Chain A
């Protein structure tokens, strides 16, 4: 949950990148870490398995610096995407102020994305919230793949709420910052 610390003049918000395994959540954070301006970015922390799969979460603090006398910080997290880590995803989602759903655009991942979104909706509901009126954006990642399905198809099957969505290729960085800007603004609008 967002924390406004009047005494230390800080505002902190938590943003979670959610999605299936290998969809590019960690790659998003790695790109942001590599390309965000130096004073704004903290250290990227990853709790990964030996094969570099996310085991618990990645964590990247971003510091906007002084805004009207307050230091504004966004803490970015990823969840582990593999199906068996659902309980871990619930643990990381705890207290989230905004969510980015990262979808792998390839055809063979469509069904998995669909199931993953149902799981996300269920988990958010358990937290007493509704994705329909929660800061939430979608990213159609891996648009560079030859078997990427058309965006209009992704919109139709995965974005029934018609939330803002962004085509992306996290490996090259395309769409990474537009997605980040959108979720950060959505979170601030709901403070």
Chain B
């Protein structure tokens, strides 16, 4: 249901007091926010705190969001700032007793130009959201081909999907074209 509504529509519904819209927003951006927090070097516990903080801030600023279409970018920026704030607070708490914490932070989630590119984060989010909108077979196929860290072979995919090996390529092409249309509908430009 939430896939049928844009961010602007969901925000407007939230402003009218419709709780389902807020739930949809949380569902839509929960992985993005949490992943950004983890990428910032936070542990799962701190990432969960940052997660709560970011959505609390979003809730407080729902009426002041001037560009609902840029909600993803706004969430990424807010999550990064919140995560850095949590990191700094944690560093002050721990640094005095554990000097190795500094080194750990330096290697765990230090932002680099590519990793913190908001456009890439947005692409990741959109691709995941588009994947959710695909049919089960396309979703399963593309997941195994592109998202699964195990990187299964075509034979494994063929067996799991129960489709002939020769059909994987054409099916993948059709599923990618569907995703492309979905992404275009979601606002991703070519």
Q: Do A and B bind each other?
A: no
Residues of B within 8 A of A (CB): none
